[in-house]
Structure 1
Amino acid sequence: MVFDAVVLAGGRASRLGGFPKPTLVVGGATLLEHALDAVHEARVIAVVGPETSAVAAGRLPEDDGDRLRWTLESPRFAGPVAALAAGLAALRRDPAGDAPWVALLAADLPRAREALAPLAAAAAAEPEADVVLAEDDGGRAQPLLALYRRGPLERILAELDDDGGLADRPLRHLVARLTVLPLRLPPGLADDVDTWSAAERWGIRRPEGPGSVDATGGA
C-alpha cells in the first residue's frame, strides 16, 4: 500500500520527568529508530519533534532528497492533534501529491514494526474504513498506533480547527468522527514507554539511578 507517515516525537514526557523518550534505547536502538524502522516503506516521513543530535543520531532512513522531514507543532506542546496537523502540513510539500493513507506512530513503541504490519494488512483488506486503529490486548484503543485514510483525516482536522482549534484536543475527538476498524493486537505489541516503571520492563532504568543506562543507552 502507498502511505506517508507521521511520527510524534516531541511531547513533554512529564511522567518521565521530562527525559526525551525518543532517545531511550531498547534492543540496541532508540525508540525513535524503532518508529522509523516501522515506517521505512513510507513514501515520505514527517517527524514532529526537535531535530537534535541526540534524537537524530542512529539508523535513520536514507533521505532520498526530502523524504525525512522534521517539524514542530505551533504552539509547542499543544498536544497530539496539533502535532498530527503539523506533520500533515510537512507531508503536503511533496510535488508527487498525497499518499492515500497516513501511518501515525508515537515514538515510544518498542515493537512498532511488528505492530504496524497487521494494521497495514487490515487497511488493504478493508478499503471502506477511515482508520485502522490498534487496540492493546486489553481492548484499549491506541490512536497513536494507527493507519488513517488521508481524505477523511484532513477533513475532520479542518472541522476541528474551525470548531475551537486543534491545541490541547484529545485524539478521541478526531477518532469519534471517523469510521473506525479496530484491530486487537497480540500481547505486548502496543505497549509503550511513558513511565519509568514501563521503561524498566524493557530493561531501561532511570538515568540517575544505580546501574542505570545513560542517555545513549550505555550502562
Structure 2
Amino acid sequence: MELEPGTIGFAVVVLAGGRAVRLDGADKASVEHHGRSLLEHAIEACVDAQEVVVVGDPVPTTRPVTFCRESPRYGGPVAALLTGRDALVRAPRSLGVLAVDMPRVTPWTFRRLHEALDGHDGAFLTDGTGRRQLAGVLDVARLDAARPDHESQHGMAIRRLLAGLDIVDVAPVGDEGRDVDTWADVRDLADDR
C-alpha cells in the first residue's frame, strides 16, 4: 500500500521519563545492561522505525532521536505516549510504544507485533503471565480517534486508553516480555548472559 505524501510507515515513542518509584527514583534509562544503557537497548529495538521520539530528558544517543517531555511532567504513560505522538515530524501509519525498561524487546519483537496488528487496532506484548506490557504497535488513525482530551490524559492508565480498541495480545518469546521495575529486576538483568 502506497503512503500518502508526508507520511511514514512506522514510528516509535519510547517512554523514558517516569518516576521509577520502585527504583528509588533512579533514572531507568541510564541503567546499564551489557555495557549499554536501557535507552540504547530501546533505541536499538526501534531500528525499523523511520522516526523515534523519546519522552524523557535528553541525553546523547548513538542514533538520532527526538526528545520531548509531557506537560505536566510525570503525567503517566498515556500523556507521554500522546506527547510523543505529537512530537513526530511526519504522521506514521503505525505507531510503536516501548517502555525504556524492556531491554529484551528487539526489532524482531516489533516485526511480530506488526504481523499481529493486521486487522486490529493494536497489538501488545504480554509478559509470561499474560499481563499486557508497554511494548506494542497501534494503528495511528484508531489511536487518534480514541484520544482523550488533554486534561484527561494526566494519570490515565494505558489499559483505559486502549479499552475501546481492538487490541490483540502477543505472547512473549523467551524473556522479551519482562520489564525492569525493581532493584531485584536490575540484579536479574545483570545475571542475563
Match of 1:101 in 2: 94
Which one of 55, 66, 76 corresponds to residue 48 of structure 1? 55
Which one of 156, 164, 182 corresponds to residue 169 of structure 1? 156
- Partners of 1:175 and 1:155 in 2: CA distance: 11
- The 1:47–1:75 alpha-carbon spacing in structure 2 relative to 1, beyond 3 Å, is same
- Partners of 1:86 and 1:122 in 2: CA distance: 22
Write out aligned runs for 1:24-39 (5 A): 24-39=31-46
- The 1:193–1:75 alpha-carbon spacing in structure 2 relative to 1, beyond 3 Å, is same
Say if 1:119 and 1:132, in contact at 8 Å, map to a contact too.
no
- Partners of 1:7 and 1:122 in 2: CA distance: 16
Larger proportion of strand: 2
Which one of 70, 79, 82 corresponds to residue 82 of structure 1? 79
Say if 2:116 and 2:170, in contact at 8 Å, map to a contact too.
no
Say if 1:119 and 1:183, in contact at 8 Å, map to a contact too.
no
Write out aligned runs for 1:1-219 (5 A): 2-51=9-58, 56-58=59-61, 60-61=62-63, 63=64, 68-91=65-88, 93-94=89-90, 98-113=91-106, 116-124=107-115, 126-142=117-133, 144-157=134-147, 160-161=148-149, 165-203=152-190
Say if 2:10 and 2:93, in contact at 8 Å, map to a contact too.
yes
- Partners of 1:125 and 1:141 in 2: CA distance: 14
- Partners of 2:109 and 2:186 in 1: CA distance: 25
Q: TM-score, normalised by structure 2?
A: 0.89
TM-fit CA distance, 1:40: 1.6
What is the identity, as a one-letter code, of the residue corresponding to 2:144?
Answer: E
- Partners of 1:9 and 1:41 in 2: CA distance: 19
TM-fit CA distance, 1:141: 1.0
- The 1:57–1:69 alpha-carbon spacing in structure 2 relative to 1, beyond 3 Å, is closer
Question: Any idea what SS the aligned residue of 2:141 has?
Answer: helix
Larger radius of gyration: 1
Question: Any idea what SS the aligned residue of 1:151 has?
Answer: helix
Say if 1:23 and 1:32, in contact at 8 Å, map to a contact too.
yes
What is the identity, as a one-letter code, of the residue corresponding to 2:35?
Answer: G
TM-fit CA distance, 1:186: 2.1
- Partners of 1:187 and 1:138 in 2: CA distance: 12
- The 1:127–1:133 alpha-carbon spacing in structure 2 relative to 1, beyond 3 Å, is same
Identity, % of aligned positions: 33
- The 1:122–1:103 alpha-carbon spacing in structure 2 relative to 1, beyond 3 Å, is closer
TM-fit CA distance, 1:6: 0.2
Say if 1:81 and 1:170, in contact at 8 Å, map to a contact too.
yes
Aligned length: 184
- Structure 1 runs not aligned, ≥5 long: 205-219
CA RMSD of aligned residues (A): 1.8
